[in-house]
Amino acid sequence: MEDPIDILEPSQVVRIFAAVQEPDYDVPWQTDSPSSSTGSGVIIGPNRILTGAHVVADATFLQVQTVDDSDKHVAEVVAICHDSDLALLRLHDPAALGGIPPAELGDLPERRARIAVVGYPVGGEELSITEGVVSRIEVQRYAHSQRDLLAMTVDAAINSGNSGGPVVHEGRVVGIAFQSLEDAENMGEVVPAPLIRRFLRGVDEGLPLEVPGFGLETQGLENECLRRALHVPDGETGVLVKRISQGNSCYGVIEPGDVILSIDGHSIANNGTVRYKGVRTTLGVLLGERFIGERIPVLVRRGGEVLGLEIVLTQLRELVPSSRYGIEPTYFVFAGIVFQPLSRNFLQAWADWSDKAPKEFLAHYFLGHRTEERQEIIVVSQVLADEVTVGYAPLNWESIVSVNGVVPRDMADFVRLVEASPGTATLITASQGHLVFDMEEARSAEERILGRYRIPRDRSPNLARRT
């Protein structure tokens, strides 16, 4: 059998140096202190370097170094897909890569296939090669994006600095290393070839790089009594639709109570899995090679009738967004209160956030879903001390359920409702706490409060000021 790293030249694997400055969601008008990190990448074309999105996320300055060059060369991001944790870089000086030939892309290997993870883990300067085998191919949770997509699990260590480097089988790149497997030694997870090919096709053809989302919550149909109640005949399999988040692919086409029998020609088993490229795994696998805007057929049982439907794939939209990168936090300061939309980035301001963050916020994150009436959760993120906020500090870290009796749909709608308040603005929180402001007093206090706390502006640039 051919050696898994045969043909791949050491010079094709590069080291990436990133200067990073992340936003501070605790103080949303500021950023965290700059930091630095390293990762790996692989040359896949003329002045084209493939790496992991997490290697270059929130980077302010990038450099690349090849194994035979002592100099570092300035680079920039050409394209990035945070969903599938992939990024494409290029050097400002293409000649710096000399005559290095690009590595070839391979196909999805079979389980037990021999592979090598190649890169520059921390603790040394030399290229590292760790060999192992493909132990699993199935849908996994991507730590960078919290998306459930196809991944390969390999019994080869993926350490800090090694991430973003190529995983090689029979001399061809079949994946990009992206995370270690929790609670396991010398196990790593890899973005597989099908997702890489989708990403590169999207770059070449100018297609949206974000991975679409169904927006579905489903329940398996293993229980015979449940199947009878839903009039599902013997020999038919599928999943029950519990609810659908507004703005997603299935919204307005599929209904709660429907039984989905197949998607895009793939029959759905009663445990919610499909057969895909020789493996059985969960529904998320069907999105990994698709693009926003594509149309796919769906077969459902609705009552006693089987219906053939079609959905248009859209970007995944969540009530509480998962991690976002490369964008400024959204915020609004009114009368000494700082408001933000709830997001995973905001939750991560708490150390050990999944245990320590307010339980209301965690319930929205893990259990909430978008509706026409409520598409974001607006929270009180800070109560700044001032005479207009006296007595309101206990209402910090609560969500806003109404403004003058109206439920705010999203952050922009919340700002509009507050600024349109006649005379008095009354904001009700989830605990039925009252934040009541005299609008004239609130407006006169704005300059004083912003100056005292050195806040450059009362809102993030994406929130338009009322004209």
Select from 59, 49, 211 the least CA-distant residue to 142.
211
One-letter amino acid of 149: L
Pairing type for strands 239-244 and 259-263 reads antiparallel
Burial (Cβ within 10 Å: 0-12, 13-18, ≥19) of residue 123: exposed
User: Under DSSP, is residue 130 helix (H, G, I), strand (E, B) or coil?
Assistant: strand
Question: Do residues 43 and 12 make contact, with C-beta atoms less than 8 angstroms apart?
Answer: yes
Helix, strand and coil percent figures for the chain, each rounded to 5: 15, 35, 45
Tokens of 60: 């302010």
Catalytic residue among 37, 40, 128, 163: 163
- Partners of 403 in beta bridges: 406, 427
- The candidate with the shortest Cα–Cα distance to 430, out of 411, 407, 412, is 407
User: How many residues does the structure list for the chain?
Assistant: 467
DSSP 329: P
381 is a catalytic site residue: no
Terminal-to-terminal C-alpha distance of the chain = 71
By the 8 A CB rule, do 458 and 449 touch?
no
Residue 460: CB atoms within 10 A of its CB come to: 17
| Active-site residue flag, 54 | yes
* Identified catalytic residue from 37, 40, 54, 458: 54
* Active-site residue, selected from the candidate residues 58, 85, 148, 458: 85
Contact indicator for 254, 214 with CB cutoff of 8 Å: no
**Which residues form the catalytic set?**
54, 85, 163
